[in-house]
Chains A and B, each alone.
Chain A
Amino acid sequence: GAVVSQHPSWVICKSGTSVKIECRSLDFQATTMFWYRQFPKQSLMLMATSNEGSKATYEQGVEKDKFLINHASLTLSTLTVTSAHPEDSSFYICSARDQSGVGYYEQYFGPGTRLTVT
């Protein structure tokens, strides 16, 4: 099956700094990628939809100036957490939609990135 990778798998940063997380579709092209956030023992909350070549669309309540998304190519989307604070500590998961088929577009998930802000 299709593979989605994320880098880094975990990162620790100091409060006030920025952190960039990469999401790559390894063997398919993805015009649409999604960023989710998962708190411990909780569900995945959709943060934003990343569209190749255009601006990301953010879900209600997600600060677009804090969570910068860039989808510069058909295989790469990045999420930058700017001026990170301890409350941004979480598990961030990306997903890429394989639109090569007909009709149904399957979403594949990356392994996630654990962010800890100290």
Chain B
Amino acid sequence: AQSVSQHNHHVILSEAASLELGCNYSYGGTVNLFWYVQYPGQHLQLLLKYFSGDPLVKGIKGFEAEFIKSKFSFNLRKPSVQWSDTAEYFCAAYNQGGKLIFGQGTELSVKP
């Protein structure tokens, strides 16, 4: 079955540290990939998306992600995190049925 997996369950960083959250998807062919963020008590917001073209995608709030087809990966990065980045991060992809499926989520805690 098509799936999205995130390897990091909980990441704890200090402010100004660099961030990389892993995401892998299980299927080949055309992929549409997303990263969403869920701040405490708030709804899901789209950080960035990849459909085609440049594999390095820049999103909002200084986040970026790189699509590496050979590794089936779409890792999220940020060079310097802030306390306000504390949130739950979800990687997602459209499956072949056109439905958005999510990874397990990664909780990011940034210490001031």
Whether B100 is near chain A, meaning CB under 8 Å from some CB there, is yes
Q: Is the CB of A110 within 8 A of B43?
A: yes
Tell me the complex Cα distance, A43–B101, Å. 9
Number of chain A interface residues as a range: 10 to 19
Whether A11 is near chain B, meaning CB under 8 Å from some CB there, is no
Q: Is the CB of B51 within 8 A of A95?
A: no
Whether A18 is near chain B, meaning CB under 8 Å from some CB there, is no
Tell me the complex Cα distance, A46–B99, Å. 8
A-B CB proximity, top 9 nearest: A109-B44, A111-B43, A43-B102, A44-B102, A43-B104, A43-B105, A109-B43, A107-B100, A46-B99
What residues make up the interface of A, taking CB atoms closer than 8 Å to B?
4, 34, 41-46, 49, 93, 95, 104, 106-107, 109-112
Residues of A near B90 (CB, < 8 A) are 43-44
Tell me the complex Cα distance, A112–B39, Å. 13
Tell me the complex Cα distance, A112–B40, Å. 12
Residues of B near A109 (CB, < 8 A) are 36, 43-45
